[in-house]
Amino acid sequence: MIVLHCYVPGVREDDQAKCWEALVPVRARWPVLDVEVPPGADLGYAWAFRRAWGKDTLLNIEHDVAPSVELVEALALCPEPLCTRPPGGSPAQDAGQVCWLGCTKIALGVQLAVPWAPILRPWGQLDVDLTATLQQASGRYWHVHKEPLEHYHHA
């Protein structure tokens, strides 16, 4: 499994510091690919996904979340091909109808079933388009985990 961690330098650095801290024990167990996305580089997030796509199961951790190592382990060990820990508690999210990439696992098999080119979208659209495309390709909703997750963007 590859942990993908995209971050934007100089943006909400206090929140990002919490993510960097949460990644310390994660790095001891899994490879983490830190990708700097320059401010204003709308396609930078998509290109980071492209860089890791199709190489191994992918666990995305956005710069403003702080997952516990227990959550990362639960996602890593889960047999479901699409897993997430959404921040909210909406009925749609709880049912696995997710448009969120903040803390998600995408199995290699699902990645290989989805061609990358149509998914090249700006940051604000990538989550909606990619989660829907993966859900359609796999024929299933996202498996929702309930382990605690701190999400600082809306705090």
Report the run of H or E that residue 75 belongs to, with start and end. helix 69-77
**Least confidently predicted of 10-14, 84-88, 91-95, 96-100:** 91-95
Over 50: is that where the pLDDT of 155 sits? no
The CATH number of 2-151 is which of 3.40.50.620, 3.90.550.10, 3.90.1150.10, 3.30.230.10?
3.90.550.10
More confident residue, 68 or 119: 68
State which amino acid sits at residue 95. Answer: A
Over 80: is that where the pLDDT of 84 sits? yes
Return the closest-CA partner of residue 107 out of 129, 88, 87, 135.
135
19-72 per-position pLDDT tens digit: 999 999 999 999 999 999 888 787 888 888 888 999 999 999 999 899 999 999
pLDDT on residue 96: 65
- pTM more than 0.75: yes
pLDDT on residue 15: 86
| DSSP tag of 43 | T
106-117 per-position pLDDT tens digit: 999 999 988 765
Map tokens 């990002």 to a residue.
Answer: 16
pLDDT on residue 95: 63
130-142 per-position pLDDT tens digit: 888 888 888 888 8
Locate the domains of the chain by residue range: 2-151
CA pseudo-torsion sign 119, 123, 129, 130: positive
Q: What are 10's strand-pairing partners?
A: none
Query: Rounded distance, CA 71 to CA 24, Å?
Result: 14
Q: Token pair for residue 27?
A: 């790095």
